[in-house]
Amino acid sequence: MSTSTHAGLNRYLLAQGIQFAAGGMLAVLFPWLITQELKESQINVGLAQTFANLPFLFLILLAGAVADGRDLKAYLPRLLVFMAMMPVLLALLVATGTLTLLTATAVIFVLSAITAFATPARDAMLSHVVPHGPDLARASVQTVATTFGGQVIGTLIAALASYVGAVPLLCVQAILMTFAAMLMSRVKTITPFVERPREGPLVGHLRGELMDGFRLVWQHERLRTLIIYLSISAPLFNGMFLVGIPLMVRDIFQGSSAMLSLLFTIFLMGMTLSSFALSRRRPVERPGRFIMLLFLTHIVVFTCVWLFPNRNVFAVLMFLWGLSSGASMSQSRGMIQTAAPPAFLGRVLSMQQFSMMAGAPVGALLFGAIAQAFGVLNAVLVIPVGVSLIWIVFRLRTGLWHFRREDHPQA
């Protein structure tokens, strides 16, 4: 990697880390506001979180099509500035005493919509900072590590909310987001942005862009296999993260919110450490095999959760789950980043994001229903059983096990 490329990547990673530190702060501050400041009921908290995250899920695919064929160095900073306005608006609502469940959720709803457009633009910009090949695969792993590291830092900063209040922290978040925008606008790129003129009406143009992206993924064995793999496995792990861990804390360990926060931090730290460790090593020659072997560790982790329902053992197992998940996510992200043709990168990466996010509502409902019927601990067994079935199917029916490192995308 050349010196100029290295400098551009460092600035890109710094901007991304700062952005996710701001995001990690809001991930704590928003539920803190509606639970501690507004004293809302459990059902209202659940509804607020659901509506606040819906725009990202429904807009991410469209956002990928919008990102392709744009000057991302100008487009992305503008989105980050708009995102910075949302915590300022929240701070004003808190400071003036006009914060309600509806206004708080509406602000986060808008922020989620902007984030949906910023995500594929930010991910696609990486291919203009680092050349395709081993360097891009390694840089993709570094971005995942930076993401989780930023979230950990932001989560820890937000822990001060009970002492200093929400307004100062929301202002800090806005400053961080603005700083991230400034850094992104000054990232040195090595390839030009090829802007495509719009053909026909906007709706028809975007529909055509989306369909082209779907066709590419379906016809590309590596992309198709990875996207399907992520889509099928996502409900298992999202269900455990969103519903399983909180229920384990409440019903099995009789823990408090402090224990829940600690477990989430432990999990994120595991993801961060494994991602950073992977970014320091040479690219894996057989990434598909590496992913499938990591996938097997979930059988061990969650079988142990079921066999040994102890809070200390559970904390260790959550850290091990984070280690495995961080390495697996980094590797799959790198494979997709290098396999996708540059002209389709925004759309392909938005499909990857969608495949991981779409499993959240399904997984949450599935885990909650099974826990209600058979108990929380027995619901955990769904993960090793599901992982075993998915592993066998992908080993026998796909070429994932045999995928080697791919340095150059197909045209």
Structure-model confidence comparison of residues 260 and 131, the more confident one: 131
Q: Directed axis angle between helix 345-357 and helix 101-129, to 10°?
A: 140
- Structure confidence by residue, pLDDT tens digits, 213-238: 778 888 888 888 988 998 888 888 88
Question: Residue 378: how many CB atoms within 10 A of its CB?
Answer: 12
Is there a common fold for 1-186 and 205-406?
yes
What is the per-residue burial (b if ≥16 Cβ within 10 Å, else e) of 356-374? bbbbbbebbebbbebbeee
For 130, phi then psi, to 5°, come to -125, 135
Tokens, residue 365: 């409902």
1-186 carries CATH number 3.10.20.30:
no
Q: How far is CA 199 from CA 142, 209, 216, in A?
A: 37, 10, 20
Q: Is 325 exposed, middle or buried (0-12, 13-18, 19+ CB in 10 A)?
A: buried
> According to the model, what pLDDT value does residue 41 have?
66
Q: Is 38 helix (H, G, I), strand (E, B) or coil?
A: coil
Q: How many CA atoms lie within 13 A of 358 on its CB side?
A: 17
Is 171 a residue whose pLDDT tops 80? Answer: yes
User: What percent of the chain has pLDDT above 90?
Assistant: 28
Is 21 a residue whose pLDDT tops 70? Answer: yes
pTM: 0.71
Question: Where do the structural domains in the chain lie, given as residue ranges?
Answer: 1-186, 205-406
> According to the model, what pLDDT value does residue 212 have?
76
- Structure confidence by residue, pLDDT tens digits, 232-241: 888 888 888 7
Query: Residues 189-199: what's their mean pLDDT?
Result: 66
Q: What's the mean per-residue pLDDT of the chain?
A: 82
CATH of 205-406, one of 3.40.50.2300, 2.40.128.280, 1.20.1250.20, 1.20.140.10: 1.20.1250.20
d(CA 285, CA 290): 9
Is 318 a residue whose pLDDT tops 80? Answer: yes
- Structure confidence by residue, pLDDT tens digits, 49-91: 667 777 887 888 888 878 777 788 889 999 999 999 999 999 9
- Structure confidence by residue, pLDDT tens digits, 271-306: 888 887 877 777 778 888 999 999 999 999 999 999
